[in-house]
Amino acid sequence: MRSRGLLAVALASVLVMGAAAGPAAADPNWSLVPEGDGEPRKAEPAKTERPARQGQADVPGQPGEVPPQGDTGDNPFLDDPNGRPTKAPQPQPTLPDRPPARQPARQPDQRGTGPKDAGDPRYAPGQPALKGPARVVRERRLGPRMMDVLISSPSVGRMTPVRLLLPHGWSASAKRTWPVLYLLHGGADNYTAWTRMTDVVSFTENVDAIIVMPEAGRAGNYSDWYNGGRGGSPAWARFHTQEVRRLLEIGYRAGTRRAIAGLSMGAYGAVKYAAQNPGMFGFVGAFSGIMATELPGIPQIIQNAQLSEGQDPNALWGDPTRNKDVWAANDPVVLAPNLKGTAIYMSSGTNSFAGPLDPPGSPWHPAHLGEPISAYTAKALSRRLDALGIKHTMNMYGNGTHTWPYWNREFKNSFPMALRALGLKGGGDPTVATMRDEREWEYDTPLPPITPPDAVQPAPLPLGVVNWTLQQ
């Protein structure tokens, strides 16, 4: 009974308390404007000059969201690197059913890092997909290694961007191929997250691999949505594992050695993709994500996160009780036997307390509850993997918040494992000792203390109002 009580406290905090926004590092004020220099951008105070229109979400492409029409202010394929529209907003013209012939990617101007575009500028993220199969309709060079490609995706139903970091010497006409590392973003964020919030560009400067950062929607959950049994769009899993993968293999010299990693919502996606597609990925890294979707209380957390983004909670996988088969098909614990032969790294804080990477005096925020809930689910998956005799690495590091400094650290800790799976120089074991059997996370109850004793609790929102972002 005590364990159920602790879980109820956690769910009450998650479902009722709420907050207007997460801390800056966990829930930055982001836009689709890319950075010209490829370096991470510091979070900035929320802008007020362009308030969101009623009913319009920040990122197009989700059911119920209204894609911008004729608004170039946050379009990475139309703006310059500093976010200034290249021309006054114009109504979007009706697009032809066929894109122009694909032009070879332009090599970057070595005198600067301004964007180099190839393709018809009328094609923009969020526009309806063209008829026919998935295809690349635009390319945009953002620097010596960084390129955004725009894919007309029948799976998502819209034109959807993907960011690439290309290795030195890469060429679309090369006779060789390169191994591929996928990096998945969290919820309430987008495909620019890794280059915007981390030093991944400089960190991978000499890595001989293609690094792929695809758009996945603010609440896409890396899934083919159930939609009341009708299926259809968005089918994010099909987009990532079939359309993006095949297009990169056909036109961008991507090879068949692959690794995948992600944070929060992306951590869940990484593990699920590896388990749903045995042998597709040699390594999976999961940082602070939900690793078991059917544990007590977890379905409510996932559905509340969908509701907070304006989605029908049952559209994702259906009702947790009536559609248990659909939920099971998306549960890493159920899919765990398929992970045999895959190198696995899972990490999370075990409580919501500030840790060594948090600035002194950082305020506590409900988004940090993502850590104990992540640890709770990772423990369940770990036990399942142990029972199956599947080796895996765990780093349950105690104090630490649901923020980028920890995710970036864990990515770098696990990076040698990814390199080894990709057959690249520098491959090996994690760079730091990992903690799996520490008493700080081997608690007897499902959840540890979730709120620091001196935490300042945000004022609760009115009943029925949900506005928070635990499930990133």
Q: Where are the alpha helices (DSSP H) in 336-464?
A: 370-388, 404-422
pLDDT at 454 over 70: no
pLDDT tens digits for range 139-168:
999 999 999 999 999 999 999 999 999 999
Overall average pLDDT of the 434-439 stretch: 51
**Residue position matching structure tokens 């349950």:** 396
Q: For residue 104, is it within any domain? A: no
**Contact status, residue 397 vs residue 435, Cβ threshold 8 Å:** yes
The residue that leads in pLDDT, 190 or 432, is 190
Q: Is the dihedral of CA 200, 160, 238, 263 positive or negative?
A: positive
Distances from the Cα of 210 to the Cα of 153, 266, 407, 456, angstroms: 21, 18, 21, 44
User: What integer pLDDT is reported at residue 115 of this predicted model?
Assistant: 72
User: What integer pLDDT is reported at residue 120 of this predicted model?
Assistant: 82
State the burial class of residue 55 (Cβ atoms within 10 Å of its Cβ: 0-12, 13-18, 19+): exposed
User: What integer pLDDT is reported at residue 434 of this predicted model?
Assistant: 61
Q: For residue 450, is it within any domain? A: no
Residue 265, domain CATH: 3.40.50.1820
The residue that leads in pLDDT, 434 or 231, is 231
pLDDT tens digits for range 162-188:
999 999 999 999 999 999 999 999 999
User: What integer pLDDT is reported at residue 370 of this predicted model?
Assistant: 95
Overall average pLDDT of the 313-321 stretch: 98
Complete DSSP assignment for 36-96: TT-------PPP-SSPPPTT--SSS-STT----SS--TT-TTTB-TTS-BSS---PPPPPP
Taking every pair of Cα atoms in the chain, the longest distance, rounded to a whole number of angstroms, is 66
Q: For residue 163, is it within any domain? A: yes
Lowest mean pLDDT among 326-335, 364-373, 462-471: 462-471
Q: For residue 433, is it within any domain? A: no
User: What integer pLDDT is reported at residue 122 of this predicted model?
Assistant: 82
Cα 119 to Cα 406: distance, rounded to the nearest angstrom: 38
- The edge-to-edge listing of strands for the beta sheet with 135-141 is 116-119, 135-141, 146-153, 158-165, 210-214, 178-184, 254-263, 283-287, 343-348, 393-396
**Contact status, residue 58 vs residue 32, Cβ threshold 8 Å:** no
pLDDT tens digits for range 82-93:
333 344 333 333
Cα 135 to Cα 145: distance, rounded to the nearest angstrom: 22
Instruction: Show the tokens assigned to 8.
Output: 């109820």
The residue that leads in pLDDT, 19 or 117, is 117
pLDDT tens digits for range 395-424:
999 999 999 999 999 999 999 999 999 999
Q: For residue 440, is it within any domain? A: no
Q: Provide the number of structural domains found in the chain.
A: 1
Question: In degrees to the nearest 10, what's the CA dihedral of 62, 64, 70, 75?
Answer: -30
Q: For residue 444, is it within any domain? A: no
Cα 244 to Cα 159: distance, rounded to the nearest angstrom: 12
Across all residues in the chain, what is the average pLDDT? 77
Give per-residue burial for 374-398: e unless 16+ CB within 10 Å, then b.
Answer: bbbbbbbbbebbeeeebebbbbbbb
Confidence bin at 117 (pLDDT 50/70/90):
confident
User: What integer pLDDT is reported at residue 451 of this predicted model?
Assistant: 52
User: What integer pLDDT is reported at residue 435 of this predicted model?
Assistant: 60
Distances from the Cα of 202 to the Cα of 46, 146, 205, angstroms: 27, 11, 5
Q: For residue 364, is it within any domain? A: yes
Q: For residue 472, is it within any domain? A: no
Instruction: Show the tokens assigned to 394.
Output: 């765990």
User: What integer pLDDT is reported at residue 446 of this predicted model?
Assistant: 46
Overall average pLDDT of the 271-287 stretch: 98
Confidence bin at 77 (pLDDT 50/70/90):
low
pLDDT tens digits for range 13-41:
333 223 323 322 222 221 222 233 333 33
pLDDT at 431 over 90: no
Question: CA nearest 457: which of 27, 17, 15, 156?
Answer: 17
User: What integer pLDDT is reported at residue 310 of this predicted model?
Assistant: 95
Confidence bin at 116 (pLDDT 50/70/90):
confident
pLDDT at 465 over 60: no
**Contact status, residue 438 vs residue 389, Cβ threshold 8 Å:** no
The whole domain housing 198 covers: 2-39+58-83+113-422
Start-to-end CA distance of the chain, whole Å, equals 29
pLDDT tens digits for range 187-205:
999 999 999 999 999 999 9
pLDDT tens digits for range 246-271:
999 999 999 999 999 999 999 999 99
